[in-house]
Amino acid sequence: MAPSWFQILIVVVLLVLLFGRGKISDLMGDVAKGIKSFKKGMSEEDTASEDNSKTIEHQAAETVKTPAKEPAKKAS
């Protein structure tokens, strides 16, 4: 059952009465600033990761061969 327009209007009026026009607009402004800051941070992270991408070159180390051990003798 979906709420009617009248019920939505009552909820909006109650919110305005409880919080006042100033608080609601301040809250919406803070939400917008948060979204902008998040988007800016994400775009800065993308450019920073592109700039800092470095390739690590691997140089093969010299392998050292050890003499093979003889298998251990079983004790009788």
Tell me if 42 is assigned to some domain. Answer: yes
Give Cα 59 distance to the centre of its chain. 34
Tell me if 68 is assigned to some domain. Answer: no
Tell me if 30 is assigned to some domain. Answer: yes
Q: What is the pLDDT along the chain (76 residues), one digit of tens a residue?
A: 788 999 999 998 898 888 887 887 888 899 999 999 999 988 887 676 665 556 667 777 787 777 777 777 777 6
Residue given tokens 């009788």 in the structure block? 76
Number of domains in the chain: 1
Tell me if 59 is assigned to some domain. Answer: no
Contact present, 26 and 17 (Cβ < 8 Å): no
What is residue 8's predicted lDDT score, i.e. its pLDDT?
92
Tell me if 53 is assigned to some domain. Answer: no
pTM for the model:
0.41
Report d(CA 29, CA 21) in Å as an integer: 12
What is residue 50's predicted lDDT score, i.e. its pLDDT?
60
Tell me if 62 is assigned to some domain. Answer: no
SS3 34: helix
The boundaries of the domain holding residue 39 are 21-46
Tell me if 58 is assigned to some domain. Answer: no
